[in-house]
Amino acid sequence: MCGIVGYVGRRDCTDVLVSALTKLEYRGYDSAGIAVFENGKIAVAKTKGRLSDLTAKMEREGKPKGHAGIGHTRWATHGEPSDVNSHPHSGRRVTIVHNGIIENYKQLKQFLIENERDEFLSDTDTEVVAQLLDFYYDGNPIRCIRKVLHELRGSFALGIVFADRPETVYAVRCESPLIVGQGQGEVFIASDVPAIIKYTKDYYLLEQGEIAVLKNGAVQFCSLHGRMLEKELHTADWDEDSAEKGGYPHYMLKEIHEQPVSVKTTITPRIEDGLPDLSECGITPETLGKFQNIFIVACGTAMHAGMVGKYVIEKLARVSVTVDIASEFRYRDPLLTTNDLVIIISQSGETADSKAVLTLAKKTGAKTLAIVNVKGSSIAREADMVIYTHAGPEIAVASTKAYMVQLSVMYLLAFEMAYAKGRIDRDECRRLTSELVKMPEVIESTINSVVDMCQFVSTKLITADSLLYIGRGLDYALSMEGSLKLKEISYIHSESYAAGELKHGTISLITDGMPVIAVATQNSLLEKTVSNIKEVKARGAMTIVICDEEADIDPEAADYMIRVPKLAELLMPMVATVPMQLLAYYTSVNKGNDVDKPRNLAKSVTVE
């Protein structure tokens, strides 16, 4: 995810900006840049690559010198990583850095072109905002910013400098996080506390639609309506290491809480006029309509996302989908044709087994689609088509937000394919897409509503030697991920089974007090799932049921119930995933394990 910083004070601004951006490197980025007031003008330095590349460039070409400016690390969403697409971006009199997504940038760009503002150098939505600010600028920065904010749609934060307002930095927040740090005679803006904690622990939280003006080592705030504001000054009690975790005790918990933003950042650029639009990824309805069979190949958590994708694609698009473990796919001599699509899901884009499948698929003439999180990774470069999941970096080994954004991509793909195949009409496709658009808010409310119950239930799991996850349909696909998440960080033996298979042998494992976690979010299958829950309960199991808030379940069947918001059955995986993540997390914490770095595991598996 992008990182924004800004500074006004007595120090060397370039040094402060680069140092602050270094503390945001954990968020992930593919380019970096700064803009500094130097001798009454705005000097810009930016480049594709790492901060070390930016520093080397400034050593060669000259380092901007001044005491006020803005900086940025970019994770590309609009336009490929390049020097030109790097931030900052400028109009004639305005230079900005930007975090987030401008949903209506195409319409705004067309408006500017029609009004003879066609000086666009980049492919970014950010430059459109810079040009729009410049278009409306009448010498009053606050009035200009307010006017532009009323026209922008999306989730974003901006750092802004005006050429005729030297030594002054403006900042605004609309959903994307932004803080203002207050030091001794100096002020900062930053996307996160780690960027500034070296200089100050005192900071203000910008709220939705609030504008900050940094000048002469102090800051003033005003609302979107122009009213001056008094804000509470907070003091961080973190050290630099904990600051990078945003105050959370572990990266995994932080990344669970980042899921709403990650999903929004992933799906928003791929929706146009209320419908999925994957054309930027090389995918068109015409292309999707031709595929006769789909193979989804992945490892671990990514494979479980593919299992959900299989259920959704087959139900909506009526296309046959096979899900395979990448390490096994090659060895069964798969039947691939030129009319088939092979989807390879990988967080890192470097998974060795998945790369081998890509090579095999391309040799057969099948089309290949990569769903990856890392720009420029091997799988992304070699696939015919690529959808980037804009989750930002995932540092904890146990995947959470990467899985959630993979799910969101599978839904977009399923909706567009079903529409392309004529299985759903435009109105139904738009309805389904609108439900997905609401998901970030629903995920956030789910995290808040289930966290206490998950903490409590986790205390009942820590003494277990073994447990089962069960479910039917989509719930079975979910139970596979829940089981993996628990065992990889809690070290408790856990297996997932299709609930209907219990009596074909597995039920013999049930002993008195053994935990069985039942995922029961599919109301059309609820009666059968409850019957299976009662079967294990009758044999002494401690039953934990994850269900929607309206599910009618016999209280005697469940020792503990974790209820999530009720959605359409098809979309329930997006919320039912949350309590499974939290159960795994708190169980591991209660056992005293290293949550972020479980034993024997690595984040990216680059060997077969």
Residue 162 DSSP class: E
CA–CA distance, 408 with 405 (Å, rounded to integer): 5
Strands 542-548 and 560-564: parallel
From CA 555, how far away is CA 544, in angstroms rounded?
11
Alpha carbon 174 to its chain's center = 17
Interacting residues of 386 by C-beta distance below 8 A, sequence separation 6+: 281, 282, 369, 370, 371, 372, 380
* Paired sense of beta strands 466-471 and 493-498, if any: parallel
What is the rounded distance in angstroms from the CA atom of residue 103 to the CA atom of residue 108? 10
Specify whether the CB–CB gap between 112 and 118 falls below 8 A. yes
Q: Which of 62, 61, 75 is nearest to 31 (CA)?
A: 75
Residue 437 in tokens:
């658009």
For the annotated catalytic residues, the residue numbers are 2, 603
Q: How many residues does the chain have?
A: 608
Distance of alpha carbon 154 from alpha carbon 443, whole angstroms: 18
How far apart CA 603 and CA 348 sit, in angstroms, is 8
d(CA 42, CA 54) in angstroms, rounded, equals 17
* Residue 298 backbone dihedrals phi, psi, to 5 degrees: -165, 180
Residue 331 makes CB contacts below 8 A (sequence gap 6+) with: none
DSSP 8-state symbol, 241: H
DSSP 298-348: E-HHHHHHHHHHHHHHHHHH--EEEEEEHHHHGGG-----TTEEEEEEESS
